[in-house]
Structure 1
Amino acid sequence: MADRRVEDSAVSGQLQNDHRIADFDPPQKPKTNKFAIACAILACTTSILLGYDIGVMSGANIFIQNDLKLSDTEIAVLAGTLNIYSLIGSALAGRTSDWIGRRYTVVLSGVIFFVGALLMGLAPGYAFLMFGRFVAGIGVGYGLMIAPVYTVEISPTLDRGFLTSFPEVFVNLGILLGYVSNYAFSKLPTNLGWRYMLALGALPAVVLAVGVLAMPESPRWLVMQGRLGDAKRVLDKTSTSKEEAQLRLEDIKEAAGIPMHLNDDVVPVTKQSHGEGVWRQLIHPTPAVLHILIAALGIHFFQQVTGIDSVVLYSPRIFAKAGITSYEHTLLATVAVGFVKTIFIFIATFLLDRVGRRPLLLTSMGGMIFSLVCLGAALTIIDNHDSKIPWAVALCIIMVLFNVAFFSIGLGPITWVYSSEIFPLKLRAQGVSLGVAVNRVISGIVSMTFLSLYKAITIGGAFFLYAGIGVLAWVFFYTMLPETQGRTLEEMEVLFGKYHKWRQANAMLKTKKVDHGDGDENKGQVN
C-alpha cells in the first residue's frame, strides 16, 4: 500500500507539473480539418461548370458565329441566356435541397449539366444549341446554389471563409480550363472545334458522380430532419475537436428550435424542417432578415453589374479592339487572364480568415474602379487614333489583368462566402437561391447587352459606366455590410437589423465574448 501511495503521489505531482508547464504554453491554433476540405472540394466541383462555360464561350462563340453564320445579336443571346436559364435551376435548388438533402442536390446538378454539355456538343444548328444551353443552364443554377450552401454548413467556424471561397476558386479554375480548351481545339476545323470545346464540359459531372459517394450529408440539414445522431457523427468528422463538434451541434439545435435535452438519433420535426413556410418569412421579414436580404442581394447585384462578365467573356474582342490582330495571340492573352484570375483567387482563400471580409471587399472594389477607369481611358484613346499606340495597347492588357486580379482577391469569392453565411439556418437554402437568381439575371443582362452598349456609347464609355457603378458599390459595401469574420453561423442575425449602425451590434458581441471568456469563443448566440 505504501508503494501504491508513493506511486499515486508521484503521478499527482507529475500531473501538477504538466499543468503548470501547460499554463505557460501558448494556445495552439486548431488544425484545419482535412476531411472538411475534401468535402468542400467535391461539392464545389459543380462551380467548374459555370466557369468552364464562361471561359469556353469567350473563344467558341467566334467559331460558332463563323460556322453557323450567326449575327452579333444571336451570339450575344447565346452567350448570355445560360445565366437566365440558370434561374430555373437556382429557384428549384432551394426546395430540392431541403427535400432530398444537400448531397444529392450536388449530384443532380452534375447530371443535368452533363446532359446539357453533350447536347451542345452534338447540336446540328442554332435552335438545338440553344436547347442544350437551356438544359446546361438549369444544371449551372443548381450548382451555383448548392455548392456554397453545402460548404458553409459543413465548415468549422475558424475555416469557414477559407472553405466557402472554394466555389469561386472552382469558377476561376473552370474559366482557365475553358480558355485552355479554346486554344487546344482552335486548330481543328471550324465545324468541329467549338463542338469539342462545349462537350468537354461534361467531364466534371463524371468526377461528381464518383466523388459524391465519399461526401457526408450536411449536418444542419440532418438536424432539420431530426437526425441528431447522424448530424453528431458528421460534426465529429468535420470539426477541429470533439468540443467544437458539440458546440456546433448545440448551436444548430438552438437555431432549428430543437430542445437542448433531446439527444436521440431521431426526434420529431416540424413541417417547416422540409422548407415549408420559408418564403413567407422572406416575403414578410423581420428587420434583421430584411437587412440580411438587402446585403445578400446587394452584393450579388454589384458583383455582376460592375462588368466582370464583359471583361472575361469578351476579352478576345477587347484585345482585338486594342490592336492584337492575331487570333492565336488573342487566345493566348485570354489564357493569361485565366491564369491571373486563378492565382489571385487562391491568394484570397488564405486571406479571408486572416484579414476579414470587409477589408478585402473594399480593397477589391477600389482596385476594380481604378482598372476600369484606366481601361476605359486607354480604349478611348485607341478609338480616336488611326495608328496603333503601343503604350495604350499595353495599358489595355495590363488593366484587364488588374481588373480580374482585384475581382478575384475580394468581390469574386466574398460574394459567395458572405451571402451563404449570413442567412439564418431555416432561410439559408431559399435565401442563397434568391442571391443566385439576382446574380444570374444581372450577369445575363450584362453579357447580352455589352456588344450593343459599346456600339452605343463606345467601348471606352462602357467601362467608364461600369466604373461609376463600382463607386456606388463601394459606398454600399462600406455602409451596409458588417464584418462576419469569426462569427458562428448561428449568431449572424445579431449583427443585422441596424443597417448602417451595425457597428453597435458588433461592439456588443465583442463585449459579450469578453464577459464570457475565451472558452466560449466559438459558442453561437441567436436572437
Structure 2
Amino acid sequence: MENSRRRPTRLNKYALQCAILASANSMLLGYDIGVMSGAALFIKENLGISSVQEEILVGSLNVFSLFGSLAAGKTSDWIGRRYTIILAAATFLVGAILMGLAPSFAFLVAGRIVAGVGVGYSLMIAPVYTAEVSPALTRGFLTSLPEVFINVGILIGYVSNYSLGGLSPRYNWRLMLGLAGVPAVAIAAGVLAMPESPRWLVMKGRMADAKNVLLKTSETEEEAEARLTEISAAAASGGGGGGPWRGEGVWKELLCPSPPLRRILVAAIGINFFMQASGNDAVVYYTPEVFKAAGIRSRKGLAGVTVLMGIAKTFFVLVSALFLDQYGRRPLLLLGTAGMAVSLAGLGLGSRFLGRRRRKPAWAIALCVLTVCADVSFFSIGLGPITWVYSSEIFPMRVRAQGTSLAVSVNRLVSGAVSMSFLSISEKITFGGTFFVLSGMMAAATIFFYLMLPETRGKSLEEISELFDNRSSGKTATAEAD
C-alpha cells in the first residue's frame, strides 16, 4: 500500500534545491583532496618537509574530522540540521584562512586540524539532512549528491593545481589552500535559505512547521499528510515529539544496542569502514607520487593525469546518482567493489612491473593510468555515493543523527590511518604491493555487502528500520534485494 501511494513520483524541485544547498558543503572536502594532491609537492619543496611530515600534513585533516563527525550527531539533535551545516562551513572557513596564511609547517597543520573538524561536521550532516527532507523514491539520487559535490570539489582542486602550479612555490600552495574559503562563505549564506529537517521538527514537537516543509517537498497535500503521519508515529514510538528533546540517551542505545539496532550498526559501520579501507582517498591524494614513480616527471603531466582522473570520478558519480533509485543500492555497490578489486589488481601489476625496470615502457604507464581511472570510476559508481545514502537512511529516526555520526567517525578514522600510512607502507612493500592489499580488501567488501546489506530502494525511512527487525542473520539480505 505504501509503494502504491508513493508511485508514480517525479523529482521535487524544492527538495532538490534543499539537497543541493546541503550537499554543496561536501565540495569543501573534495576541493581539499584534489588540491592537496598537487599542493603537497610544492609544500614539500617550499618548506622542505619529509615524506613522514607529508603524510602527517595530508592525514591530519582526516584524523581530526573524526572529532567533527562525533560531535555533529549531538550538535544536530540540539541546534538542528540546518545550523549544523552552517557551523561546518564556518569552521572550514577558519581552517582555510589559517592554511592560506601559514608561515610554517606547524601552523599549516594547525589550519588543517581546524578545517578537519569542519569537514567532519559536513560529512555527517549533509546526507542526514538530505535523507530526512527527501521523498522516498528520489532519496537515493538526492542523498548521493554529497558525493557528487565531493567529486566536483576534487575536479576544481585539480584545475586549481594546473592553473596555479606555474607560480612560485612560495605562494602557489597558499593560494590553492586559501581559495577554499570562498565557497565556504557562499555555502554558509545559501544554507540560511533552507528549511529545517521535517523529522527534526517533529522530534521537537513543531508539527505545524514540519507539515509546511513536507507540503513543499511532496507532490500533493495527501502525500505530505501521509508522510507526516508516518514520521509522527515513528517519533512517538521512539520517545520523541515531546518538545525539549536534545538527543539524550542515544549513546546508551548505540553502545548497548538491541539486536535490530546492532545489525544496523554492523551495516553502517561496515560500509563506512570499507569505503576508506579501499584506499580511495590515499590514491587521490598521492596520485602524483605514484605516477612520479611510474615515470611521469613533468608537473604539467602529473597535473594532467589528475585532471583526467577527476573527470572520470565526476562523470561516473553522476551516472550512479541518476540510476541509484532505478536499480537500487546493492547492485551498484556490488558492481563498484568488484570492479575496484579488479582495477586495483591491474594497478598493482603495472606498478610492480614499472618498479623493477629503469626504463619505463609507455604501455605500462598507460596501464597504470587506465587502471587508476577505472578504480576511481568504480568507486564513484558504488562506495562513493552509496556509503552516504545507506548509512544516513537505515537508522531509526531517534538515533539517526548520532548513529550516522558514529559510522562516519569510523569512516574518518580509517581515512586518516590510510592517508597517514600509505607512503610509509608503500616504501616497505612497494606501491604495487599496497595496491594488491587494497584489491584484497575490496574482494572482502564485496562478500560483506552481499551478505549483510538489504536493499532499501523505494522505502520510506520509517519502513527501512523494519528490514533489520526480524533478520536472524545477514543471509536474508539477498532475499531483500528481490
Q: TM-score, normalised by structure 1?
A: 0.88
CA distance change for structure 1 residues 134 and 316 in 2, over 3 Å: closer, same or farther? Answer: same
Aligned to 1:476: 448
- C-alpha displacement of 1:386: 2.0
- C-alpha displacement of 1:502: 2.6
Aligned with 2:87 (options 92, 108, 117): 108
Secondary structure in 1 matching 2:384? helix
Tell me if 1:34 matches 2:23: no
Aligned to 1:352: 324
Tell me if 1:322 matches 2:294: yes
Deviation per residue, 1:55-97 (Å, 9 max, x gap): 1110001101111110010011000010111111111111111
Tell me if 1:500 matches 2:474: yes
Q: Does the Cα contact within 8 Å between 1:495 and 1:505 map onto a contact in 2?
A: no
Kindly indicate whether structure 1 or structure 2 has the higher relative contact order, using CA contacts under 8 Å at least 6 residues apart.
2
Q: Does the Cα contact within 8 Å between 1:46 and 1:106 map onto a contact in 2?
A: yes
Aligned to 1:82: 61
Deviation per residue, 1:224-280 (Å, 9 max, x gap): 000000000000001122222111111111111079xxxxxxx97165x31000011
CA–CA separation in structure 2 for the residues paired with 1:505 and 1:276:
36
Equivalent residues in 2 for 1:192-207, closer than 5 Å = 192-207=171-186
Secondary structure in 2 matching 1:274? coil
- C-alpha displacement of 1:505: 7.9
Equivalent residues in 2 for 1:391-402, closer than 5 Å = 391-402=363-374
CA–CA separation in structure 1 for the residues paired with 2:384 and 2:103:
35
CA distance change for structure 1 residues 230 and 161 in 2, over 3 Å: closer, same or farther? Answer: same
Count of aligned residue pairs for this structure pair: 474
Q: Does the Cα contact within 8 Å between 2:275 and 2:387 map onto a contact in 1?
A: yes
- C-alpha displacement of 1:209: 2.5
Q: Does the Cα contact within 8 Å between 2:350 and 2:368 map onto a contact in 1?
A: yes
Identity %: 55
Q: Does the Cα contact within 8 Å between 1:372 and 1:466 map onto a contact in 2?
A: yes
Aligned to 2:138: 159
Aligned to 1:433: 405
Tell me if 1:253 matches 2:232: yes
Secondary structure in 2 matching 1:257? helix
Deviation per residue, 1:326-385 (Å, 9 max, x gap): 111111110111111001111111110001100000000111001000000011111112
Deviation per residue, 1:387-431 (Å, 9 max, x gap): 221111110000010001100011110000000000000000001
- C-alpha displacement of 1:108: 0.6
Tell me if 1:269 matches 2:248: no
Equivalent residues in 2 for 1:48-59, closer than 5 Å = 48-59=27-38
Q: Does the Cα contact within 8 Å between 2:203 and 2:241 map onto a contact in 1?
A: no
Paired residue type of 1:58: S
CA–CA separation in structure 1 for the residues paired with 2:120 and 2:188:
18
Stretches of 4+ aligned residues off by more than 6 angstroms: none
- Aligned-pair RMSD on alpha carbons? 1.6
CA–CA separation in structure 2 for the residues paired with 1:450 and 1:86:
18
Q: Does the Cα contact within 8 Å between 2:202 and 2:241 map onto a contact in 1?
A: no
CA distance change for structure 1 residues 192 and 476 in 2, over 3 Å: closer, same or farther? Answer: same
Aligned to 1:222: 201
CA–CA separation in structure 2 for the residues paired with 1:139 and 1:427:
22
Q: Does the Cα contact within 8 Å between 1:345 and 1:413 map onto a contact in 2?
A: yes
Tell me if 1:280 matches 2:280: no
Q: Does the Cα contact within 8 Å between 2:73 and 2:401 map onto a contact in 1?
A: yes
CA–CA separation in structure 2 for the residues paired with 1:408 and 1:96:
29
Aligned to 2:457: 485
Q: Which runs of 5+ in 2 are unaligned?
A: 1-5
Q: TM-score, normalised by structure 2?
A: 0.96
CA–CA separation in structure 2 for the residues paired with 1:211 and 1:89:
21
Aligned with 1:190 (options 169, 179, 188): 169
Aligned to 1:458: 430
CA–CA separation in structure 2 for the residues paired with 1:336 and 1:455:
26
Tell me if 1:63 matches 2:35: no
Deviates more, 1:380-389 or 1:45-54: 380-389
Q: Which runs of 5+ in 1 are unaligned?
A: 1-26, 260-266, 511-527
CA–CA separation in structure 2 for the residues paired with 1:55 and 1:335:
9
CA distance change for structure 1 residues 268 and 429 in 2, over 3 Å: closer, same or farther? Answer: closer
CA–CA separation in structure 2 for the residues paired with 1:501 and 1:194:
50
